[in-house]
Amino acid sequence: MKTISLIAAGLLAMSAAVAQEPPWQALPTVAPAPADNPTTPAKVELGKMLFFDPRFSSTGTVSCFSCHNVMEGGEDHRPTSIGVHGQKGGRNAPTVWNAALLSVLFWDGRAATLEEQAKGPPVNPIEMGMENLRAVIDSIQHIQGYRPYFEKAFGAGDVVTMDNAARAIAAYERTLLTPNSPYDRYVLGDKSALTEQQVRGMKAFVRVGCMTCHQGPLFSGPAMPAGTGNFVRFPSFPQNPYVALYDLLKDKGRFAVTHNPADESVWRVPMLRNLVYTAPYMHNGSVNTLPDAVRVMTAGQIGRNLADNDVDDIVAFLQSLTGEFPQQTMPRLPPTPGELLGP
């Protein structure tokens, strides 16, 4: 009920937006945290260690960082990721930058929070390949050097738990925001921050209809409570040559989670920030360039082909969404106790 009224309100706001000045929103500089996991420096410190530690994968080679490279665009520049034993996943790794501002995680929106999301990849047989979450927390507990960091973040006692590990990783991820893009500076008042072409692209972005789905500070949809996703069918107009060329219907999207036929080819609307860093594009990473991504999206969602100058202008606008990446220091990871290594 609440969800429906929120969506209705969103649609109203949207219609108003298209008619008047669109509600351009700058990136928040702080990510909200759930009431039971306030962000603290001790959690961020621990979470960063866990995020970079490959020892919680079955081969000891894959960490969160492996596919969410925060030295680049927060993903892995591959069509689909490679996990343990050289196995390839089925979907393009979504960026971890600004993911803290999403209301649902994964391409199909199956996780409501960063905390929940963090428990997925370690036990995915293709990604980190651990047998179960018990095995993950066992391996964290075996590295005794982690205990002081858990105690600093969560207090004394039985605190080296999977829930706390996920909370710490989420806390670190909430620091991964990229504010101050040319677009953000523009909407905050610096009218010199965008080029003329980018301003044209911004207007084309509204006129063409991109903003129907791609609104809000991330361009991923209207503000929604955690766990409520902005889901849209893609392609909505499947009668175009890109669908076969890029194999866009093979993966059934959210249907794989809900098994509801209405969810076939339905996806969380992805954000549009820092796209310069995150080629290739689409859920299957099939589209290499930003101009082609714009063409695929307008053909698939609006049912028409754009003029080249509109494509170029919109691409220029999207390039203005590249923010500032906060300087990261590397964590020091505690040693692997030789006593506990397997044969």
Distance from the first to the final alpha carbon of the chain: 56
Answer yes or no: 45 catalytic. Answer: no
- Name the residue nearer to a copy of itself (CB basis): 29 or 327: 327
CA pair distance 221, 240, nearest whole angstrom = 25
Shortest Cβ 247–a copy of itself spacing (Å): 12
Nearer to a copy of itself, 55 or 214 (CB): 55
Q: Is the peptide bond before 280 cis (omega within 30 degrees of 0)?
A: yes
Residue numbers at the binding site for a copy of itself (CB under 8 A): 52-55, 59-61, 66, 69-73, 76-78, 82, 84-87, 276-277, 279-281, 288-290, 325, 327-333, 335-339, 341, 343
82: which 2 tokens? 């490679």
**Do residues 297 and 233 touch, judged by C-beta distance below 8 A?**
no
Least distance between a copy of itself and beta carbon 327 (Å): 6
Whole-number Cα distances in Å, 39 to 95, 114, 173: 20, 12, 10
CB nearer a copy of itself, residue 61 or residue 161: 61
CB of 35 to a copy of itself, least distance (A): 31
Q: Closest Cα partner for 121 from 54, 192, 186? A: 54
Q: Which is nearer to a copy of itself, 87 or 132 (CB)?
A: 87
Q: CB-side exposure of 170: number of CA atoms within 13 Å?
A: 28
Non-local CB neighbours of 288 within 8 Å, separated by 6+ positions: 279, 280, 281
- Of the candidates 72, 115, 116, 127, the residue annotated as catalytic is 127
- Shortest Å, Cβ 179 to a copy of itself: 15
Residues with catalytic roles: 127
